[in-house]
Chain A
Amino acid sequence: GAGVSQSPSNKVTEKGKDVELRCDPISGHTALYWYRQSLGQGLEFLIYFQGNSAPDKSGLPSDRFSAERTGGSVSTLTIQRTQQEDSAVYLCASSAYTGGYGYTFGSGTRLTVV
């Protein structure tokens, strides 16, 4: 597609429920990233996928968070047993190159846990 597409745009969920956030990167982009932006904060790295390599999961805050990327394209970020502190904007980005080029970001999913 023309840009990075994320769905849903907004999600309200009850504490304890599981949620899935979807990211559809730009066609042909081999690198895909997830970041979290809590209220009033900068972006916090969560996970990075590059082609068929094992993902860099070093930023995932707990084992309730997981992500997968199917067929080297679409990615899903799953949060199990959501907590109120999980409320944030989850941003996805993709890149055609590694090594210093800027990413293309999506518009994010605003997750609210009530």
Chain B
Amino acid sequence: AQTVTQSQPEMSVQEAETVTLSCTYDTSESDYYLFWYKQPPSRQMILVIRQEAYKQQNATENRFSVNFQKAAKSFSLKISDSQLGDAAMYFCAYRNFGNEKLTFGTGTRLTIIP
């Protein structure tokens, strides 16, 4: 079974600075997808960024980018120019190709310091 580990329960960053959230996963599969979701106090999970394992290029969405290291099974999220609205729980998630289930990590609570 696949597992996802987020080793940082809490992180904080100064507004406008850069922060990196860590995620590692365990799988024997070669084709899969990785995701970062944001969960604000509203509880709704919002997709931040997605990475296909077969792509070597790291995904980027505006201020959000990932560092995908397939051999190391590492998938970190970098948030640049942090904003107050980035404060939330961030969850890393894994999904096998051809399987509909997402496996989530336990999350990292990100605090933005004004």
- Tell me if chain B binds chain A: yes
A59 to B98, alpha carbons, bound, how many Å? 17
| With known contacts A43-B91, A45-B102, A50-B100, A108–B43 Cβ distance under 8 A | yes
A63 to chain B, nearest CB (A): 20
Chain B residue with Cβ nearest A109: B43
Q: In the complex, which residues of chain A have a beta carbon less than 8 angstroms from the beta carbon of B98?
A: 99
Contact present for A100 and B97 (CB under 8 Å): yes
Q: How many residues of B contact A (CB 8 A)?
A: 25
Residue of A40, A56, A93, A100 near B95 (CB, 8 A) is A100
Asked if A98 is at the interface of the complex by the 8 Å CB criterion, the answer is yes
B interface with A by C-beta (< 8 Å): 4, 33, 35, 37, 42-47, 50, 52, 91, 93, 95, 97-98, 100-107
Contact present for B101 and A48 (CB under 8 Å): yes
A interface with B by C-beta (< 8 Å): 31, 33, 35, 40-45, 48, 50, 56, 59, 89, 91, 93, 98-103, 105-108, 110
Residue of B47, B101, B103 near A102 (CB, 8 A) is B47
Residue of B45, B47, B100, B105 near A56 (CB, 8 A) is B100
Contact present for B97 and A105 (CB under 8 Å): no
Q: In the complex, which residues of chain B have a beta carbon less than 8 angstroms from the beta carbon of A100?
A: 33, 50, 52, 95, 97
| With known contacts A48-B101, A100-B97, A102-B35, A41–B44 Cβ distance under 8 A | no
A42 to B92, alpha carbons, bound, how many Å? 9
